[in-house]
Chains A and B, each alone.
Chain A
């Protein structure tokens, strides 16, 4: 696998995490909280998906 391919998902999930951490801090409640929760759940959801597809 090309090195870039190894990092594609990890970088995407790290970006989602940082977006989630920043959204609730910089935005004011409401839609920003929803965005924050969604972005932070994404890495956990991807992890769960990988573990459940046997």
Chain B
């Protein structure tokens, strides 16, 4: 590599790293507990345990569950019903009005078999976020909504540029060294330079995957909203002008759920979104379905069921960029390979913090010489050894 291009890459590495350093530290620190979100939630949960029932106990009727939720909160409207396939639970989400902000969602958790109410979660707006909510908000949007998501997404891109420029600089620094050399006894700066290079290069692939999938996740909301405004509206064009069905005139949710289950073998319906919900269609139940393999289990496909006639209207084929976002989620969260994968994720996260800290140290203790001069000096020291 020529002197000019070496200096240019060094400048790119320095500035991209400095710009994103604080945010990368934030990502790593808040991401650490989020890796174990599921386990921590279970640990901190004070929910009553599920009744012990035979495994083949049939699921409670969803219409009855929703009726129970509405009876309990007659001043609220149901927005969605979530049928878990992991635990025997059915969750009903309700809002004071269809246009109320999602933060006011009240969640009622029912036993999926007995239909008994197990727990009611107050709206986040009233009860305040818990520890994991705070971590998630800091990690995702700095409590700044869409603007925060786009900003942190941009920081993720800057970080990816910092990683790529670091990889480019790896070669000139290592050209006379064996892989993995750590010069322990040649001064602190040289020691940390070697450790920075070693830890950085072995984690490069993971860190790039997590950075890029993180950026995709940050784009998730605007891209789904755009899709809702354009393609979904086009799909709903035939229904335009038809009166929006009243809540009490809706067809059976249970029937919609079972219909989708029957018509799409191999796919599991996970939730039914009410026509009252702004997400979806005012004329349909929107049934989210997923496949059964680890990959297709992440690819959620919406199915529209006519909310008055109870007929299957259409299976929506999501565009590739929304599919990419869906696949990027497990690759970012590390939640698709059991607990050992989560521990590996945590160790890689910690190594990334050390790479960040050592990079900062190398910058703070930097020599006031151009990088090529410093490199030549370093190699001189190595030759003397």
A contacts, CB < 8 Å to B: 1, 3, 6-10, 13-14, 17-18, 21, 24-29, 33, 36-37, 40-41, 43-44, 46-47, 49-51, 54
Q: Determine the distance from Cα of A24 to Cα of B294 in the docked complex, in whole angstroms.
A: 8
Is B294 in contact with A28, judged by CB distance below 8 angstroms? yes
Chain B 289-329 interface 0/1 with A at a Cβ cutoff of 8 Å (1 = within): 00001110000000000000000000000000000000100
Q: Which of B171, B205, B206, B295 contacts A26 (CB 8 A)?
A: B295
* B205 / chain A contacts, CB cutoff of 8 Å: 13-14, 17-18, 43
Within 8 A of A (CB), among B182-235: 182, 184, 195, 198-199, 201-206, 209
* Residue in chain B with minimal CB distance to A43: B202
Is A47 in contact with B337, judged by CB distance below 8 angstroms? no
Given A21-B209, A25-B330, A44-B347, list of 14 further CB < 8 A pairs?
A6-B174, A6-B175, A10-B202, A14-B204, A17-B206, A17-B209, A18-B209, A27-B294, A37-B337, A40-B344, A44-B344, A50-B181, A50-B198, A51-B195
The interface size of chain B toward A, counting residues with CB under 8 Å, comes to: 38
Q: Is B239 interfacial (CB-CB < 8 Å)?
A: no
Is B180 in contact with A49, judged by CB distance below 8 angstroms? yes
Q: Determine the distance from Cα of A39 to Cα of B327 in the docked complex, in whole angstroms.
A: 20
Q: Determine the distance from Cα of A41 to Cα of B206 in the docked complex, in whole angstroms.
A: 11
Is A47 in contact with B336, judged by CB distance below 8 angstroms? no
A1-B177, A10-B201, A24-B294 known; A36+B182 contact, CB < 8 A: no
Q: Determine the distance from Cα of A27 to Cα of B80 in the docked complex, in whole angstroms.
A: 32
Q: Is B131 interfacial (CB-CB < 8 Å)?
A: no
